[in-house]
C-alpha cells in the first residue's frame, strides 16, 4: 500500500507562487498516470493537471500557462509549480496515483490566495 502525502500549501497573495509536492511512501513508477485535483468550498473536486510516466502532461484550461506539473520517479515525488495565483485557485489540492484499477489519494493541502 502506497501512501501519498501533499505539502507546500499555504497563504499567498494574488500574483504570487507556490510549489506543491506529493511524496509517496513507495515507488511512483507503478503509477502510469499521476494527477493533481482541487476542491474549493461548496464545489466538486476538479482535475487540475495530469502527468504520465513518459512525461506527457495535460492541464485544465483555467490553469494553462500558470501551472506546471512534474514528476521525479527516482525521488518518488510529483510537484505542481503554481505561478500568478488567483483567488479562484483557493482550494484543497490533492494528488492522485492511478495503478490499473487501483486509485490512491493523498489527504490534501490547503492553498489560499488572498490579499
SS3 sequence, 76-111? CEEEEEECCCCHHHCEEEEEEEEECCEEEECCCEEE
pLDDT tens digits for 36-68? 999 999 999 999 999 999 999 999 999 999 999
Please, are residues 97 and 28 in contact by the beta-carbon 8 Å criterion?
yes
| pLDDT exceeds 90 at position 1 | no
| Chain Cα centroid distance, residue 19 | 9
Share of the chain above pLDDT 70, in %: 100
Closest CA to 4 of 86, 96, 83: 96
Mean pLDDT of 84-99: 97
> Residues near 56 by Cβ (< 8 Å), separated by ≥ 6?
none
Amino acid at each position: 500500500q502506497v501512501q501519498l502525502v501533499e505539502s507546500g500549501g499555504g497563504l499567498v497573495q494574488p500574483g504570487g507562487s507556490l510549489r506543491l509536492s506529493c511524496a509517496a511512501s513507495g515507488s511512483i513508477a507503478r503509477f502510469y498516470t499521476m494527477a493533481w485535483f482541487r476542491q474549493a468550498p461548496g464545489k466538486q473536486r476538479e482535475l487540475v493537471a495530469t502527468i504520465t510516466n513518459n512525461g506527457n502532461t495535460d492541464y485544465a484550461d483555467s490553469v494553462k500557462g500558470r501551472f506546471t506539473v512534474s514528476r521525479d520517479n527516482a525521488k518518488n515525488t510529483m510537484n505542481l509549480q503554481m505561478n500568478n495565483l488567483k483567488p479562484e485557485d483557493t482550494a484543497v489540492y490533492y494528488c492522485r496515483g492511478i495503478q490499473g484499477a487501483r486509485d490512491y489519494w493523498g489527504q490534501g493541502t490547503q492553498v489560499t490566495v488572498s490579499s
